[in-house]
Amino acid sequence: MTSGGGRCTVLAMRHLTGLLLAVVAAAGCGSEIDDRPATFGYIHEAILLPSCATAVCHSTQNHISGVDMQDRESAYNHWSGASRKELSTIYAQIGGETELDPEVLPEAGRMPLDSPLPETDILLIGRWIDDSGEND
């Protein structure tokens, strides 16, 4: 009976070890903190320029709907004004929460049209708006 008890103890320890590893692994999932700066300078450089100021969209040469995201001041002027992300129409457009007026741009939907922004970028922009929305 002693050997059976020892075997049960070993099995219980393996089970607890496996359970502990699963808990530790689960705790690591989704706990990543976005430590990128929620500043307009960073957002303009890392998100808006490569995603929005493209040749076919909101570049200086081809500013669709009069929006130039390539020029930092022009881009900031377009983004500024809302004190909370819930009040920002452009935040709603990048988040897919609203559609653009079909008479302005019939094919418009979630921005950017060719490749919507990743959720982490949308959340960072929302954090910047909620923090102050200032131009640094």
**Residue pair 38/124 in contact by the 8 Å Cβ criterion:** yes
Mean of the per-residue pLDDT values of the chain: 74
Residues 13 and 56 in one domain: no
24 token code pair: 């530790």
Residues 3 and 70 in one domain: no
* Averaged pLDDT, 56-67: 83
| Domain boundaries, position 70 | 40-131
Where residue 48 falls among pLDDT bands split at 50, 70, 90? very high
H, E, C per residue of 20-45: HHHHHHHHHCCCCCCCCCCCHHHHHH
Residues 25 and 82 in one domain: no
pTM of the model as a whole = 0.66
- C-alpha 6/C-alpha 1 separation (Å) is 9
